[in-house]
Amino acid sequence: MNFNKQQLRAIRHKNGPALVLAVPGAGKTTVLIHRTYNLIKKYNINSLKILSITFSKSSAKDMKNRFNNIFTELHNIPVKFSTIHSFSYTILREYAYKNNIKYNLIESPKHPQYKNKLLKEIYLDINREYITEEKLEGLINIIGYVKNMMFDINDFVQNNKVDIRNLKEIYNAYEKYKTKNFLIDFDDMLTYTLNILNKDKYLLTKCRNKYDYIQVDEGQDTSKIQMEIIKTLAFPKNNLFIVADDDQSIYGFRGACPDDMLNFQKIYPNAKIFYMEENFRSSNNIVNVCNNFIKQNTLRYNKELFTKNRNIRPIQIVRTETIIDEYEYLVRTFKKYGDLSNTAILYRNNISSLGLIEYLERNSIPFYIRDMKISLFNHWIVKDILAFLNVAYDDTNIFEFEKIYYKTKGYIYKKYINWIKTLSYNISVFDRLLQYPGLREDYKERINELKIDFKRLSKLKPYEAISFIEKDLKYEKYLKENSIKFGYTYDSLKTILFDLKLIAKNTSNIEKFLERLKYLDYISYKSKNKKNGVTLSTIHSAKGLEFKKVYMIDLIDGDFPTSNSIETFENGQVNLLEEERRLFYVGMTRAKEVLDLITTEYKNEKKVDDSRFLMELESIFNNK
Ligand SMILES: Nc1ncnc2c1ncn2[C@@H]1O[C@H](COP(=O)(O)OP(=O)(O)OP(=O)(O)O)[C@@H](O)[C@H]1O
């Protein structure tokens, strides 16, 4: 590979702190790998003395593979690429061993005190209501944010508006329970490690002596506490080499804090700063537009993104009428290509993949889902719909009815449900309700009506059944009234119903519909090992990757950028909207040759606006 001057300078850097500030596709990872080689081969550094820290397990693995593939002659020399968490864990384990403590990690769903389960129980205990999966994810992010930013929970609650009731009490109860039972989660790994390094001089010296060179990839997404650990370890040699692109910082919500990057020379006055502004990845068309796009952010180091690559194809904005047209556009395009392994569909929110999976599968387009963290088919809305259907087929099923009685019409109270549980389980729940002592006539009428509606529901085909639940059984009303409380937009919830109807449309009966859901769930899960299809990924998970062709979908204002970021922007705060813009930029800069930005005019039968980022891009196109 012919390195440019900027890359060579960075690769040859040996001692002292250095920050490589680079643009996307500038070869940050490439430089880090070649510098590692240089340290070992040219400067004769023992490979065991070099610690390279990456953002995620998969990037540690990718980097190790890239290193081994390029430098085959070093394949039997141990080179350490590790995440900050796994590295911290080794320190924590050693400390625990020395002090005869046994910490238990509660991040696995198999653990009896699994973090999510524990938090759900604490939430229920304190707030007297169940927490939804999304809210739980939000709660976990907030806890992670507080720890990663090294905030005190009292200060945090005082200075921030959060939509989790009794956050402070939940946070404290969670901490107390873990401490008492020697349980830790991923965030604790970091807090414990920093505490250990601060109080155990023996371990601190041992760690400092172990590594002479520390390198950090994706420095922009390192959190405050992670940076503290790294700085503590590197001291006093301070042979710290960080590669970063502040424009690609997309984990602010989890505590990523590029401030230390922006203040690097204040922390290390003798630091070298290398700029790498040449992009080797993308066509000239893509690079030029991306450069102008990101310049609209105010919170950034100014860099000039450029490339010597030629023009290939202008970025295309594709406007479709409906989401279905969006899918059809993709299918039509993909059918023209043979190999899809170098193609990606990127989206802001995981939920965008639900209908897409159905459509791609039905059209025999192979796909690979990169970050299938949760099963979408286990979404609570899907579970609700299944509960409605189960009650329709067996109206004695109190357990299923309990999941939905307050989500449908009829105004049934919890006390009625508790009472009817004392009656025979072989009788219809509606007949049992009718026996409730002193029930008013109008209530009886409502319950009778509900009983008839559920009977009717049992006779409908899947598509009609979901529409019936939505409209006639007033599930839509429930979603509308509760969406904000749950922290969603009503639209995003409607999208799930829309996708379910899309799946239902092609099935003739409920068994077939359930089979189809299970099948889609199964192939989505299995697709993890199938890398020859088009890659489906959130932009967050596509970080660091590159594809010849990229299709960004669902580019609708309110979804991307999120309505929350728009609202805070309108109230004078730019940071959330700027993080959205960076995310958009990360998505666009994954493309080498083809970049299509796709939006739709109607979503859930409602007219929607194009993402404001598309307008910004159009004005960039027009000013050229
Ligand atoms: N000097 C060079 N000549 C040609 N190609 C290069 C050079 N340096 C890097 N590349 C190529 O450019 C692409 C981008 O490199 P790399 O993935 O290391 O960039 P990056 O800065 O880590 O990107 P990003 O931050 O956008 O994920 C890769 O395909 C890499 O092989």
Q: Does the annotation flag 252 for ligand binding?
A: no
Instruction: Give the least confident one: 94-98, 274-278, 530-534, 606-610.
Output: 530-534
Report which protein residue has its CA nearest ligand 1's atom 16: 27
- For residue 297, the SS3 value is coil
Q: What pLDDT band is residue 566 in, cutting at 50, 70 and 90?
A: very high
The pLDDT > 90 percentage for the chain reads 64
Q: Does the annotation flag 366 for ligand binding?
A: no
The yes-or-no verdict on residue 236 having pLDDT over 90 is: yes
Q: Does the annotation flag 558 for ligand binding?
A: no
Give 233 Cα–ligand 1 centroid separation in angstroms.
Answer: 29
Tell me if 5 CB under 6 Å of ligand 1. Answer: no
- For residue 224, the SS3 value is helix
- Identity of the amino acid at 228: E
Tell me if 558 CB under 6 Å of ligand 1. Answer: no
- For residue 508, the SS3 value is coil
Tell me if 527 CB under 6 Å of ligand 1. Answer: no
Give 331 Cα–ligand 1 centroid separation in angstroms.
Answer: 30
As beta bridge partners, residue 105 has 184
What confidence score (pLDDT) does residue 531 get? 67
Q: Which two tokens stand for residue 60?
A: 């540690």
Across 263-269, average pLDDT: 89
- Ligand 1, residue 589: give the atom nearest the CA: 26
Task: State the DSSP code for 435.
Answer: T
What confidence tens digit (pLDDT) does each residue in 311-353 have? 999 999 999 999 999 999 999 999 988 789 899 999 998 877 8
Annotate 552-584 with DSSP letters as a single string.
E---BTBBTTBHHHHHHHHTT--HHHHHHHHHH
What confidence tens digit (pLDDT) does each residue in 275-299 have? 999 999 999 999 999 999 999 999 8
Across 115-124, average pLDDT: 94
Tell me if 426 CB under 6 Å of ligand 1. Answer: no
Distance CA 624, CA 620 (A): 7
What confidence tens digit (pLDDT) does each residue in 597-617 have? 999 999 878 899 999 999 999
- For residue 537, the SS3 value is strand
Across 139-154, average pLDDT: 92
Tell me if 28 CB under 6 Å of ligand 1. Answer: yes
Q: Which two tokens stand for residue 207?
A: 């760690």
Q: Does the annotation flag 22 for ligand binding?
A: yes
What confidence score (pLDDT) does residue 455 get? 95
Identify which of 260, 189, 271 has the alpha carbon closest to the alpha carbon of residue 222.
Answer: 260
Across 582-591, average pLDDT: 98
Q: What is the pTM of this model?
A: 0.86
What confidence score (pLDDT) does residue 599 get? 97
Instruction: Give the least confident one: 83-97, 307-321, 526-540.
Output: 526-540
Give CA separation, 496 vs 259, 353, 382, 601, 622, in Å: 38, 10, 8, 18, 36
Tell me if 280 CB under 6 Å of ligand 1. Answer: yes
Give 281 Cα–ligand 1 centroid separation in angstroms.
Answer: 6
Tell me if 30 CB under 6 Å of ligand 1. Answer: yes
The yes-or-no verdict on residue 260 having pLDDT over 80 is: no
- Ligand 1, residue 30: give the atom nearest the CA: 18
More confident of the two residues 526 and 470: 470
Give 226 Cα–ligand 1 centroid separation in angstroms.
Answer: 25
Q: Does the annotation flag 16 for ligand binding?
A: no
Q: Which of 31, 58, 280 to probe ligand 1 with, by most ligand atoms within 8 A of CB?
A: 280
For residues 473 and 453, the answer to whether their CB atoms sit within 8 Å is yes
Give 584 Cα–ligand 1 centroid separation in angstroms.
Answer: 19
Task: State the DSSP code for 131.
Answer: P
Kindly indicate whether the ipTM for this predicted assembly is greater than 0.90, answering yes or no.
yes
What confidence score (pLDDT) does residue 530 get? 67
What confidence score (pLDDT) does residue 526 get? 76
Q: Does the annotation flag 112 for ligand binding?
A: no
For residues 581 and 621, the answer to whether their CB atoms sit within 8 Å is no
Share the mean pLDDT of the chain. Answer: 90
Give 74 Cα–ligand 1 centroid separation in angstroms.
Answer: 22
- Ligand 1, residue 543: give the atom nearest the CA: 27
Tell me if 55 CB under 6 Å of ligand 1. Answer: no
Give 297 Cα–ligand 1 centroid separation in angstroms.
Answer: 24
Q: Which two tokens stand for residue 352?
A: 């965008």
- Ligand 1, residue 22: give the atom nearest the CA: 21
Give 20 Cα–ligand 1 centroid separation in angstroms.
Answer: 14
The helix (run of H) or strand (run of E) holding residue 259 is: helix 259-262
The yes-or-no verdict on residue 374 having pLDDT over 60 is: no
The yes-or-no verdict on residue 485 having pLDDT over 70 is: no
Highest mean pLDDT of the ranges 246-260, 267-281, 489-503, 522-536? 267-281
Name the maximum alpha-carbon separation found in the chain.
90
Tell me if 22 CB under 6 Å of ligand 1. Answer: yes
What confidence score (pLDDT) does residue 166 get? 95
Give 25 Cα–ligand 1 centroid separation in angstroms.
Answer: 5
What confidence tens digit (pLDDT) does each residue in 452-466 have? 999 999 999 999 999
Q: What pLDDT band is residue 379 in, cutting at 50, 70 and 90?
A: confident
The helix (run of H) or strand (run of E) holding residue 276 is: strand 272-276
Q: Which of 20, 23, 30 to probe ligand 1 with, by most ligand atoms within 8 A of CB?
A: 30
SS (H, E, C) 317-344: EEEECCHHHHHHHHHHHHHHCCCCCCEE
Q: Does the annotation flag 243 for ligand binding?
A: no
What confidence tens digit (pLDDT) does each residue in 172-220 have? 999 999 999 999 999 999 999 999 999 999 999 999 999 999 999 999 9
Across 352-359, average pLDDT: 86
The yes-or-no verdict on residue 520 having pLDDT over 80 is: yes
Tell me if 533 CB under 6 Å of ligand 1. Answer: no
What confidence score (pLDDT) does residue 486 get? 65
Please, what sign has the CA dihedral across residues 71, 74, 75, 80? negative
Tell me if 594 CB under 6 Å of ligand 1. Answer: no
What confidence score (pLDDT) does residue 564 get? 83
User: Is 133 buried (19+), middle (13-18) or exposed (0-12) by CB count in 10 A?
Assistant: middle
User: Is 464 buried (19+), middle (13-18) or exposed (0-12) by CB count in 10 A?
Assistant: middle
Neighbours of 154 (CB within 10 A): 11
Give 590 Cα–ligand 1 centroid separation in angstroms.
Answer: 11
Give CA separation, 209 vs 43, 126, 202, 205, 595, in Å: 18, 47, 11, 6, 48
The yes-or-no verdict on residue 468 having pLDDT over 90 is: yes
What confidence score (pLDDT) does residue 377 get? 67
What confidence score (pLDDT) does residue 522 get? 84
- Ligand 1, residue 7: give the atom nearest the CA: 1
What confidence score (pLDDT) does residue 281 get? 97
- Ligand 1, residue 26: give the atom nearest the CA: 21
Tell me if 54 CB under 6 Å of ligand 1. Answer: no
- Ligand 1, residue 4: give the atom nearest the CA: 1
